[in-house]
Structure 1
Amino acid sequence: MDLGGGMSLKGIPNNVEVGFLTLLESLNLCKVGQYLKCPKWPIWVVGSESHYTVLFALNPNVQEENELEERESKIRRAFDAQDQSGGGGFISVEGFQQVLRDTDINFPSDKLEDLCNAGIIVWSEFWQALLQLDKRAGGMKDPTGLMGKKQFTIFHFNGIAKSVLNGNASAGGSCPIQRPRLCKLNVTVPPRWTQDEYLADVVSASTSSSKDDSILSLAPPGQTNQHAPLVDCIRTRWPRAVCSWVGDVPSIV
């Protein structure tokens, strides 16, 4: 991002050992790059407004992407590289042409003209067009059905002592104790968007009073959809993730 005066702001240029996620991205206050979201090891420092905690998985397969997920990541990186708005999600026509060259996307001439008519290209409109474009032309439309959901377990550790209930039979009940928290979360990531799902969710998000209303129905049978600020952080890495846990709500403060 060009800051003017010969200064520019750039992200992490290479893969890293440990990643980073932040609540501030879910609030649209900053943008974390893909290298920090997809580190070598499934370990992430999680930033809140006032504190850092740790998210980690024991199985490195949580980082694996199928062919179309890798394709989407490549396209998103190319788009972000041309985004001079500071993460606003739009690029110039010239930048868009570079994205198409870098990612081997071949839109029909009429669709290309439609996308460029406004003089800027917005990511959401670009993504909708990709969902309609066949994979063989560089799009995301996949007749083979490779875009399956993921299910995995992840752990969150907060080293600051918190009050938790501890059953104490000799005391005749439960009493609060102070201790760090380790929380196990079950995570389900639904299949990638279809065009109809995307359009339906845009409408739902614009009319709903709760950010989870459009995600609630995606929870698999038997899994309760639970929410906490940590879930917002997780969704910056795995969009539309549905999370559940047993016991105390995981805290990132």
Structure 2
Amino acid sequence: MGRLVVGARGCAKGGAMSADLEDVRHLLWGRSGGKDPVFRSWSQGFSFSPHEPTALVQLEGGPCAVLAAVQAFILRSILCQRDSLDWRRVDPDGVDQLLIDAVTHIVCQAVDDLSDRAYVLVELPTQGEGIEAYVGPDFFHEELRVLPLETRAEVRHFFATHVSALRGTYGVLLLLYSLLASRGPANLLLEVNDPSEPLIDPEHGYGGQSLINLMLTGRAVSNVWDGDRHIDGMLLRGIERQSEVGFLTVMERARHCEVGACLKSPRQPVWLLASETHLTVLFSAESRLAGDWAPTEQARRVFRQFDADGGGFVPRALLPDVLAALGMTADGDFTDVLCEQLDPDGCGVVLESAFLRELCPPSEPLPSSFILYHYNGLSGSAPDGKVVYRVAQAFLEDEQDARSYEERPPVDILGCLQTKWPAIRLRWLAGAPPSLN
């Protein structure tokens, strides 16, 4: 092969590994550069369960940040085709198309908000179409090549002609390197809280929150709250827009973090569920559980941007700013009347509950009962070793009649879901509840 040739927009093609890919390697693995056994655990392809045609199988612990996210976007594609696709009986060609759709979306959304970058696809040409043998981190990185592309159609065509590489030993890593190279090391360094902390834990091999967010939203921010925050003089970046698929975590149930509406209320009823050590996926065919934000959700999100302490209220003096952020009139007469309605006792604060009740019409009510499906890609976590979707009947109670939040289990699936639906109850239709781990 020839030496390095500088291609479009600073990318490299042909020859030796580009400087961008060297930076990507450092961002992913830190000083270790990716060493066994962690690198070996990430050397997996996208393979599907023989017992559930659209469910990915995770061979070892580690790469669930990629595999669960790709699974979530496969399910997103399924739900977008729900009227024309029997998703429990998809043939192999249909499964390939779902995988191609998912990885194309993941890579492209990382570039779509950038004006000066190409899509950058990473390949391992010396291994040919079928990448089966494990060759180790040094050989892998020495042989990587990049291909700059200009359009989403070109990206999809690339993945369509490299399906066997996606399914081969390095499929997960080739997608991951393509994603980071497309976003660009300079952008990634601006997004993460701590640039010295690798995206993959060098000791335990799990993907950090920045990597999870990059997979879900195209931005490697380190926090799951809505928008950016200034804390102790530091700019900490959060999620800036409603995601296609969502994210819930037991860490919020334990009060260790705050998941904002951008991730908690996605456009499609698909959520990654995070335990302390693993990622699984929850989804439903019930469209009323998700969708474009209703006025109430949008108003709540804007209100909380001005609720700096998370106390459920804002100072009365900030009400004109809240209204302006919602695109509503904030002239003096209207604001004065509204303030009298929202703060009749003259306490100087506006409560979130009163604000939403006054300004937002009731949205379409959630169903009182619906079906949920849970996916865990680790066969060792399945009671019979078979990776399949587990089914539950969900019930939403009146929150005033529900038991105390503090009495509920904190670290199982139910405790995770109660961070979004505090009054939810589950009845699993076969066997014990599935594991989050």
TM category (shorter chain) comes to: 0.5 to 0.7
- CA shift digits 1:32-71 (9 cap, x unpaired): 1222123333221111111111112234443158xxx823
Please give the alpha-carbon distance, in whole angstroms, between the structure 2 residues aligned to 1:239 and 1:107. Answer: 30
Aligned with 2:298 (options 54, 71, 74): 74
Residue 183 (1) aligns with residue 183 (2) = no
Instruction: Give the match's secondary structure for 1:159.
Output: coil
Gaps of 5+ in 1: 165-176, 213-226
How far the C-alpha of 1:4 sits from its partner, in A, is 3.1
Please give the alpha-carbon distance, in whole angstroms, between the structure 2 residues aligned to 1:10 and 1:39. Answer: 19
- Tell me the equivalent position of 2:164: none
Question: Could you say if the C-alpha distance between residues 4 and 237 of structure 1 is closer, same or farther in structure 2, counting changes exceeding 3 Å?
Answer: same
How far the C-alpha of 1:238 sits from its partner, in A, is 3.0
Instruction: Give the match's secondary structure for 2:343.
Output: helix
Please give the alpha-carbon distance, in whole angstroms, between the structure 2 residues aligned to 1:238 and 1:26. Answer: 12
How far the C-alpha of 1:252 sits from its partner, in A, is 0.7
- CA shift digits 1:81-140 (9 cap, x unpaired): 11323x4545444444433454558646164153x62x555xxx531x358x5xxx5256
Please give the alpha-carbon distance, in whole angstroms, between the structure 2 residues aligned to 1:189 and 1:20. Answer: 19
- Tell me the equivalent position of 2:321: 98
Please give the alpha-carbon distance, in whole angstroms, between the structure 1 residues aligned to 2:418 and 2:241. Answer: 23
Please give the alpha-carbon distance, in whole angstroms, between the structure 2 residues aligned to 1:64 and 1:155. Answer: 18
Residue 31 (1) aligns with residue 258 (2) = yes
- Tell me the equivalent position of 1:174: none
Residue 126 (1) aligns with residue 352 (2) = yes
- Tell me the equivalent position of 1:151: 369
Answer with 1 or 2: which has the greater Rg: 2
- Tell me the equivalent position of 2:247: 20
- Give the paired residue count: 199
Instruction: Give the match's secondary structure for 1:242.
Output: strand
Residue type of the alignment partner of 1:158: N
- Tell me the equivalent position of 2:231: 3
How far the C-alpha of 1:23 sits from its partner, in A, is 1.0
Task: Report if the CA contact (8 A) 1:62-1:152 is conserved.
Answer: no
Residue 138 (1) aligns with residue 359 (2) = yes
Residue type of the alignment partner of 1:162: S
Instruction: Give the match's secondary structure for 2:419.
Output: helix
TM-score under structure 2 length normalisation: 0.39
Question: Could you say if the C-alpha distance between residues 91 and 8 of structure 1 is closer, same or farther in structure 2, counting changes exceeding 3 Å?
Answer: farther
Please give the alpha-carbon distance, in whole angstroms, between the structure 2 residues aligned to 1:163 and 1:187. Answer: 21
- Tell me the equivalent position of 1:241: 424
Instruction: Give the match's secondary structure for 2:418.
Output: helix
Aligned with 2:407 (options 210, 224, 230): 210
* Aligned-pair identity (%): 27
- Tell me the equivalent position of 2:381: 162
Task: Report if the CA contact (8 A) 2:288-2:366 is conserved.
Answer: no
Task: Report if the CA contact (8 A) 1:24-1:48 is conserved.
Answer: yes
Please give the alpha-carbon distance, in whole angstroms, between the structure 2 residues aligned to 1:60 and 1:148. Answer: 10
Structure (1 or 2) with the greater strand fraction? 1
Aligned with 1:84 (options 308, 314, 322): 308
Structure (1 or 2) with the greater helix fraction? 2
Residue 232 (1) aligns with residue 415 (2) = yes
Gaps of 5+ in 2: 1-228, 329-334
Please give the alpha-carbon distance, in whole angstroms, between the structure 2 residues aligned to 1:146 and 1:45. Answer: 24
Question: Could you say if the C-alpha distance between residues 34 and 139 of structure 1 is closer, same or farther in structure 2, counting changes exceeding 3 Å?
Answer: closer
Please give the alpha-carbon distance, in whole angstroms, between the structure 1 residues aligned to 2:389 and 2:277. Answer: 19
Please give the alpha-carbon distance, in whole angstroms, between the structure 2 residues aligned to 1:130 and 1:34. Answer: 17
- Tell me the equivalent position of 2:149: none
Please give the alpha-carbon distance, in whole angstroms, between the structure 1 residues aligned to 2:257 and 2:318. Answer: 21
- CA shift digits 1:186-222 (9 cap, x unpaired): 123346x7xxx4xx77xx74xx97248xxxxxxxxxx
Please give the alpha-carbon distance, in whole angstroms, between the structure 2 residues aligned to 1:153 and 1:3. Answer: 40
Please give the alpha-carbon distance, in whole angstroms, between the structure 2 residues aligned to 1:156 and 1:230. Answer: 9
